[in-house]
Amino acid sequence: MTGDRGATAEPMVERVIGAPRTLVWRAWSEPAQFARWFGPAGFEVPTCEFEFREGAPYRLEMRGPNGQVYGLVGTFVEIVPLERIVMTQAPAGEPGMPSMETTVEVELSEATDGATRVVVRHLGWPSAEIAEGAMGGWAQALEKLEAVLAAA
């Protein structure tokens, strides 16, 4: 799940999705589309609110298989259409969750046969173990994204 850059591991997941970059971009940039795939396997996103522009906040809620709801908030820091998204992310005041802000960097690029290469880096975790868990969630989310786009 992690990429290696020399001696330090960077929390990263990469996937080639068999869909054009414009469709993958829409899945990231439109709240209704984002809610269809975001989160680990078995999680739903009943609430997803944002205006996709730099400086704009977002808020979402993920519901786990056990019914527990996890809120996330953040801000879109950088948006380069069809290429790059940078956003902050933090738990939305969840009891028992550490109060921390992390940074998510998403890069989209053309792959072969009209597919799209997606690279997600999620930086700022307090430990390698927490980062590894988060990247496992991202890997599952990208699998869900691929399935949603394949069904479209």
Q: Name the nearest CA neighbour of 59 among 75, 43, 37, 38.
A: 75
Tell me the residue range of the domain where 141 lies.
Answer: 17-151
Tally the domains of the chain.
1
CATH number at 27 reads 3.30.530.20
pTM comes to 0.89
Residue 1 lies in a domain: no
Residue 66 lies in a domain: yes
Residue 46 lies in a domain: yes
Task: Return mean pLDDT, the chain.
Answer: 91
Backbone angles phi, psi at 145, to 5 degrees: -60, -45
Query: What pLDDT band is residue 93 in, cutting at 50, 70 and 90?
Result: confident
Q: Does 54 score more than 80 pLDDT? A: yes
